[in-house]
Amino acid sequence: MAAGAGEALDESAVGSSGAGALSADRVLTFSQGLIGFPDARRFALLASDRPASPFRSLACLDVPGLRFVVCEPTSVGTTYGSEFHVEDAAVLVIVTVPGDGRPMTANLMAPLVVDGRTGRGRQVVLDGGCYSTRHPLPPVPGP
């Protein structure tokens, strides 16, 4: 029976990899694209544009101009526990940046889970009720 989620994280792999281990020259492949974007399969994960910024661009190689802002879940105060069963898992969450000044949010319900060794990943849906599609980003610490 296919479920789409219900995979647990290999704890020993978390500390040694994580999305920080996905170097900027990696091409990530989502064989089924992202939800609502079935043709967007190959992406380049670009380095942060500023040294202290947790945000990276996930730029689609298949659809010109299409890109997403992503960051690691820890940057928004979340650690996934046993939801994924992927060796060497790197997890990224997609950040929504409203153009009208409304707060930025992260989609914690549908993270991108990537196998750090192969670069293959998928958007996993965690609809058990624990995670929001619009988790507010924590404020930046003041000076």
Partner 1 sequence: MLVLTRKLGEVIRVGDDVTVRVLEVKGNQVRLGVDAPAEVRIYREEVYRAIRKENEDAALHDAGGAALASEVWQREPGKH
The site for partner 1 (CB under 8 A) is made up of 1-4, 31-32, 34-37, 46, 48-50, 53, 55-57, 59, 65-70, 94-98, 103-104, 107, 109-110, 123, 125, 127, 133-134, 136-137, 139-143
Residue 98 CB, shortest distance to partner 1, in Å, is 8
What is the Cα–Cα distance from 140 to 49, expressed in whole angstroms? Answer: 17
Answer whether 56's CB lies under 8 Å from 44's CB.
no
74 or 96: CB nearest partner 1:
96
Number of Cβ within a 10 Å radius of residue 138: 11
Q: How many helices and strands (H and E) does the chain possess?
A: 1, 8
Q: How far is the CB of 104 from partner 1 (least distance, A)?
A: 5
